[in-house]
Structure 1
């Protein structure tokens, strides 16, 4: 599931180029392909995240996958830009529904909070694989003269197969009525906005995603030598190897992020998660500062390198934030964190674009904003490692929720 929707979501850069040509829209209008998808996820996470807790993981996963499949197949009949945007929004809502249920299911099948974190890194690793496959598939379809909309049809076919697998799969028992102390509805999601654990990890997710999205949204603009002349786009780099790296920098970033998440499955079983996140966030900050101080030549290496250090941060935020709550609330908590995740993905690149435009359109100034996001993230994770505010809560949940699963 994670790989399938990443194939569409992280192909948006390639798709936007085709949308601008096909529908003759402006950059701002085309950017709605990204923004409305994230808004759909954010809305779904906050207001529909409770569905997994109320109706069970299986029904909610199938519902979300069905909505996503319908939106994908309808791309074949989309002939207007407004209709395409409506499908993008619907697909975002669908992702929010099945992803919150999938995140809650990870808690159901985990035997400890540590195993929960390892499994979460594994799931997000497949998202990283989808982020590599999707843009390559779009580029291949275009070279073959095939409409980019067929990417969504392929995703829809995969989604249909996933629905059949989800229908046949056995799920752990899920109870909600006897365990919950209050009705499971949208009000519970809103009440979690006052919980320090839910909000702490949610704000961390916002800062991380805002910093991460800077790479795949704005790095090409920062690395390009001349945006107006295709033949001179990478002429400022001295060697052919540097020019090739500049051309495929985003793909290198996604590959390093995916590889790092698979390594993270092992890493989180053997090291202090708070220490790892603190050190990796410092490395991200240093990469941003080095890329700004050394210019394009340094950024060419340092910006894609952030993929290694970013790899384990978001899955661990998700895992530890969800693990701070009983299993019967995992869907609701996952929805709240997902809301802030999508908000960071939408707001971060937008703020960077505004700041860059305010200083003459130079993407360097936008990356100063990204460096600020990463600095705030490091400060928060330094505090988390130093004070360890979740230790008692996680120990309590470990004793009450996982003792019978060992």
Structure 2
């Protein structure tokens, strides 16, 4: 009887895992296609780089605000209700793209999209903790989740490119995502999610999230993730613009540079669990962050031909940093606080994703070329490497992770 119940619980968890993977895949299709859409927007609405970057930073700002102010809902209402709220709002925003043609109308819809993703992600990140037996499995699951996100990040830009080549509006990407989202809503509603096991009787509220903002471990992981995100989004937001008129020796690589980047990032995330089982996560973070910094340094030092090769290559080394840091940061806290801490981390993640490309666009406008924005991204990469070095040498959160493991 016990064996049958264990098998049933295992099957339920596997279904919930698969649903979560598909949800991250869907969101990536829209969010990571921005780099391909931005050149089209610049042409269609006669925008500067700073103005066009709003198409990226608008949803990111609202993801940040949603994570901060609504992240506690995942702990208060439960993961399932929170995820369904996020999915429903996302589907509504996607379908509304068919109703207008104004750039500012699109920005309004992207604000709704960002709010929806923030609600969903805090619920989903809390859920991953619920279905993970320990911190190591949590990191492995997060890498698989982000692997599916990486695949979605490949599919989204490919769909937009195909639509534009065929003379069809990029807006159909959002229409397709809306249909996909409705299907996931139905499946998520029918799925049996695990009950949230509380170890404390404390009332869960927004005030708890703001208290979390003062926690040095939540802030430390948020800083590291923020630097990583600023380094990563530089690639998929501005690399297509950097390589737009490239006519050097690697034209074929330049044409598919963003696809290569997303492919390497996705492959690396699927391999994440295997690598983390063989090496300490502190070592992996150090060596991979160093490799990213060297890729950026080489791209900026040796010219556009080097950038065509090294910037997409950096995706392989970026693969495990975000999901591993995210899972370790969340695992430092009790399970009933996972939604709140995920909201705090998501706030800084999205804020960095918004401000990084915006600052790069401003620097590019000031100096007359987007490559100057990549000098700023290179600085972010080296700061991330410095934090990884400190983590390798001092391991400041090690005692918390060991305590949660037991």
Same fold (TM over 0.5): yes
In the alignment, which residue of structure 1 is the partner of 2:235? 215
* Residue 171 of structure 2, aligned match among 144, 149, 158: 149
- Does the C-alpha gap of structure 1 residues 218 and 21 become closer, same or farther in structure 2, counting only changes over 3 Å? closer
Structure 2 Cα separation of the partners of residues 223 and 153 of structure 1: 29
* Residue 109 of structure 1, aligned match among 126, 131, 138: 131
Is residue 391 of structure 2 the alignment partner of residue 379 of structure 1?
no
In the alignment, which residue of structure 2 is the partner of 1:58? 80
- Does the C-alpha gap of structure 1 residues 215 and 17 become closer, same or farther in structure 2, counting only changes over 3 Å? closer
Structure 1, unpaired ranges of 5+: 225-232, 400-406
Is residue 54 of structure 2 the alignment partner of residue 32 of structure 1?
yes
Is residue 115 of structure 2 the alignment partner of residue 93 of structure 1?
yes
In the alignment, which residue of structure 2 is the partner of 1:124? 146
- CA deviation map 1:37-82 (0-9, x unaligned): 1011000011110000000000000010001011111111123333
- Does the C-alpha gap of structure 1 residues 40 and 136 become closer, same or farther in structure 2, counting only changes over 3 Å? same
Give the C-alpha shift of residue 268 in structure 1: 1.7
SS of 1:184's equivalent in the other structure is coil
Structure 1 Cα separation of the partners of residues 47 and 34 of structure 2: 15
In the alignment, which residue of structure 2 is the partner of 1:260? 268
Structure 2, unpaired ranges of 5+: 1-22
In the superposition, the TM-score normalised over structure 1's length comes to: 0.91
- CA deviation map 1:210-244 (0-9, x unaligned): 111111222234445xxxxxxxx233x13xxx111
- Does the C-alpha gap of structure 1 residues 5 and 339 become closer, same or farther in structure 2, counting only changes over 3 Å? same
In the superposition, the TM-score normalised over structure 2's length comes to: 0.91
SS of 1:69's equivalent in the other structure is helix
In the alignment, which residue of structure 2 is the partner of 1:75? 97
Work out whether residues 137 and 151 of structure 1, in 8 Å CA contact, stay in contact via their aligned partners in 2: yes
Give the C-alpha shift of residue 246 in structure 1: 1.4
Give the C-alpha shift of residue 249 in structure 1: 1.2
- Does the C-alpha gap of structure 1 residues 79 and 372 become closer, same or farther in structure 2, counting only changes over 3 Å? closer
In the alignment, which residue of structure 2 is the partner of 1:403? none
Would you say how many aligned residue pairs link Structure 1 and Structure 2? 384
**How is 1:256-295 mapped onto 2 (pairs within 5 angstroms)?**
256-295=264-303
SS of 1:194's equivalent in the other structure is coil
Work out whether residues 115 and 269 of structure 1, in 8 Å CA contact, stay in contact via their aligned partners in 2: no
Give the C-alpha shift of residue 27 in structure 1: 4.2
* Residue 203 of structure 1, aligned match among 212, 217, 223: 223
Structure 2 Cα separation of the partners of residues 90 and 210 of structure 1: 22
Give the C-alpha shift of residue 5 in structure 1: 0.8
Is residue 250 of structure 2 the alignment partner of residue 245 of structure 1?
no
- Does the C-alpha gap of structure 1 residues 49 and 379 become closer, same or farther in structure 2, counting only changes over 3 Å? same
- Does the C-alpha gap of structure 1 residues 333 and 386 become closer, same or farther in structure 2, counting only changes over 3 Å? same
In the alignment, which residue of structure 2 is the partner of 1:190? 210
* Residue 353 of structure 1, aligned match among 357, 361, 370: 361
* Residue 182 of structure 2, aligned match among 160, 174, 191: 160
* Residue 159 of structure 2, aligned match among 126, 137, 145: 137
Work out whether residues 138 and 151 of structure 1, in 8 Å CA contact, stay in contact via their aligned partners in 2: yes
- Does the C-alpha gap of structure 1 residues 298 and 30 become closer, same or farther in structure 2, counting only changes over 3 Å? closer
In the alignment, which residue of structure 2 is the partner of 1:341? 349
SS of 2:196's equivalent in the other structure is coil
